[in-house]
Amino acid sequence: MNHWQALNRAIEARGRPVHFWWRDDDAHRYDPQLGSLLALSGRYHAPVTLAVVPQWLQPSLADTLTPHAGRVQCAVHGFAHADHAERPVRKCEYPETRPTADITAELTQGIALLRDALPTHWLPAFVPPWNRFDPTHYPALSAAGFKAFSARYNNEFVPDLQNWPIHIDIINWRDKSFAGLDHCTRSLIDAIETAGEQPIGIMTHHLDHDADCWAYLDQLLGFIAEHDHSTLLPLTTTRAA
């Protein structure tokens, strides 16, 4: 049985449709890699949520996304993608040591920047850089107007917000290469078996993909599009727990 047959078997064994969703991080301007990502999204009619860094935003992003309205949405990805953690704490823009009031102000500014720059694409959804956000600051998210939150599946869920966790990372960050078919298939099957009704989150980073990442993403989107019992959902701020 090859990897795709194994994935198919896990979907069929579940006995009900499997929902996936797709998040791509670090968008801020047009570049050829973003062009490749949008082409894949178009080819498979695949909704994608771009996690956009407010302080990096350039006008070319809005121009690039205009033809993709309705299929491409934008969430707020931190503010400056800046590391404020003190070692040995791992990289984090929102560590416990920052004042929550500063973070509320920053998040409010971030949401305003996206709303102004990308009025037809922005969502009140927050994606913390490095998937880390200290729980001390959870009240800042609602205070700034966010309705949804997305980090890794093993993070705590944020109370009062809709949570859209990520279950699979297609990159091996040690050498910025494709994480491998074994790893990706195992992650997807684990998620299918344990995620319950939660849509299964696929995380990509268009600026960091090697050729194998692109090839895998193409295959995975094709698999989901063709499978009778799998669907790729858009992130909405009314679905999911």
**Closest distance between Zn ion and the C-beta of residue 91, in Å?**
10
Nearest to 184 by CA among 197, 169, 198: 169
Q: How far is CA 84 from CA 8, 30, 90, in A?
A: 42, 27, 10
> What is the size of the binding site for Zn ion (CB under 5 A)?
3
Indicate the residue among 78 and 124 with the shorter CB distance to Zn ion. 78
Residues 107, 98: contact at Cβ < 8 Å? no
Contacts to Zn ion from residues 182-221, by CB under 5 A: none
Nearest to 127 by CA among 149, 98, 94: 149
**203: which 2 tokens?**
């995380």
Q: What character string, x for contact with Zn ion (CB under 5 A) and - otherwise, covers 6-25?
A: -------------------x
- For Zn ion, the binding residue among 128, 129, 165, 201 (CB under 5 A) is 129
**If you compute the radius of gyration of the chain from its CA atoms, what whole number of angstroms results?**
17
Amino acid code (one letter) for 198:
Q
Stretch that binds Zn ion, among 31-39, 56-64, 128-136, 139-147 (CB under 5 A): 128-136
**Closest distance between Zn ion and the C-beta of residue 77, in Å?**
6
**Closest distance between Zn ion and the C-beta of residue 182, in Å?**
25
**Closest distance between Zn ion and the C-beta of residue 2, in Å?**
32
169 belongs to the binding site for Zn ion (CB under 5 A): no
**Closest distance between Zn ion and the C-beta of residue 179, in Å?**
16
Indicate the residue among 83 and 212 with the shorter CB distance to Zn ion. 83
- For Zn ion, the binding residue among 3, 21, 26, 44 (CB under 5 A) is 26
Indicate the residue among 181 and 207 with the shorter CB distance to Zn ion. 207
Query: Which residue reads 């194998």 in tokens?
Result: 212
Residues 21, 199: contact at Cβ < 8 Å? yes
SS3 for 139?
A: helix
**52: which 2 tokens?**
């956009």
**Closest distance between Zn ion and the C-beta of residue 78, in Å?**
7
b/e burial code for range 24-60 (CB count within 10 A of at least 16 → b): bbbbbebbebbeebbebbeebebbbbbbbbbebbeee
Contacts to Zn ion from residues 33-92, by CB under 5 A: none
Nearest residue relative to Zn ion (C-beta): 25
Residues at the interface with Zn ion (CB under 5 A): 25-26, 129
